Amino acid sequence: MLSIVSIGPGWAEHVTPAAARALERAEVVVGYKTYLDLIAGFITGKEVVSSGMMKEVDRCKTAVERAAQGAEVSLVSSGDAGIYGMAGLVFEVCRERGLVPGRDVEIEVVPGIPALSAGAALLGAPLMHDFAVVSLSDLLTPWGVIEKRIAAAAAADFVVVLYNPRSRKRRWQLGRAREIMLSHRGPDTPVGIVKRAQREGQEVIVTTLAGFDEEVVDMQTVVFIGNSSTWSWEGLMVTPRGYGSKYSL
Ligand code: SAH
């Protein structure tokens, strides 16, 4: 059995009981070193296969192979494994190799708390209305596609959540995203920047679209850009659902 285990944003209390059970059952735990450190308490004494950032394809193949041979394997993914995580890659590898889930290898996806929920909770309630999530990583997606999606989400007045916003090597993309947003939204549009949500070193900044400092944004950051009715208040960022215009609050 291969369990693709979502471990949530960081703190152990955000690991669901179902994820904890899957980890407990595992003989082999496969994952990126940083994530395995987050769940060290759940995997003591187990066989651990860890590897660095760019090795996700190797990690996935190892996990699939070991499970197909009959081992109980947990493949660990941060946040929710089905959101820019390892789940899709597992099915791609299986499909490529003709390994049918349920016939050649048992696979389960254990859901978890994604960074967008972990971050939104710290900001208050920025995602109370329709939102779009865009990853700014152009390592696997052409930049032209990313720009088109940001522009479409901006034009349609979605709250926009940016994943993978800025790394040491990818520095200009966030500025370009801001420019596109500014061509559709006011400079005072609230922006929430959440670093290391629900893990060691957590930081929350509420600022504006024109005013935010790109330098504070790194790869452990998720950026929330409000829609035209989002407001900031007392360090919070809230997108009203519309109750206020219908009911007396
Ligand atoms: N599967 C994960 C996303 C992995 S992509 C999920 O469901 O959240 C990696 C990106 O997610 C990072 O670049 C960052 O933008 C975001 N991220 C993941 N964990 C985070 C955290 N604890 N705090 C802030 N951003 C986080």
Task: Break the chain into its structural domains and give their ranges.
Answer: 2-113, 116-238
Contact yes or no for 231/220 (Cβ under 8 A): no
Distant-in-sequence, close-in-space partners of 134: CB < 8 Å, separation ≥ 6: 146, 149, 150, 153, 160, 161, 162, 163, 177
β-strands 2-6, 107-110 pairing? parallel
For residue 131, how many other CB atoms are within 10 A of its CB? 19
From CA 125, how far away is CA 238, in angstroms rounded?
5
Atom number in ligand 1 closest to CA 164: 13
From CA 138, how far away is CA 146, in angstroms rounded?
8
pLDDT-derived band at 53, boundaries 50, 70, 90: low
Q: What is the pLDDT of residue 5?
A: 98
Percent of the chain with pLDDT over 90: 94
The CA–CA distances, whole Å, from 77 to 6, 117, 178, 225 equal 5, 16, 29, 26
Atom number in ligand 1 closest to CA 223: 15
Q: Which of 45-59, 164-178, 193-207 has the lowest mean pLDDT?
A: 45-59
Q: What is the pLDDT of residue 51?
A: 80
pLDDT for 246 beyond 70: yes
pLDDT for 228 beyond 90: yes
CATH class name, domain 116-238: alpha beta
Contact 219 CB / ligand 1 (< 6 Å): yes
pLDDT for 11 beyond 80: yes
Q: What is the pLDDT of residue 212?
A: 97
- How is domain 2-113 classified at the architecture level of CATH? 3-Layer(aba) Sandwich (3.40)
Query: 3-state DSSP call for residue 6?
Result: strand
Q: What is the pLDDT of residue 222?
A: 98
Contact yes or no for 66/93 (Cβ under 8 A): no
Ligand 1 centre and the CA of 163: distance in Å? 6
Contact 232 CB / ligand 1 (< 6 Å): no
Question: What single DSSP character describes residue 77?
Answer: E
Sequence-ordered strand ranges (E) for 12-163: 28-32, 47-51, 73-77, 107-110, 124-125, 131-135, 159-163
Contact 85 CB / ligand 1 (< 6 Å): yes
Atom number in ligand 1 closest to CA 80: 7
Question: What single DSSP character describes residue 54?
Answer: G
Chain segment 97-145, per-residue pLDDT in tens: 999 999 999 999 999 999 999 999 999 999 999 999 999 999 999 999 9
pTM of the model as a whole: 0.97
Percent of the chain with pLDDT over 70: 99
From CA 107, how far away is CA 15, in angstroms rounded?
19
Query: DSSP H helical segments within 133-215, as ranges?
Result: 143-155, 173-182
Q: Whose Cα sits closest to atom 13 in ligand 1?
A: 164
Contact 10 CB / ligand 1 (< 6 Å): yes
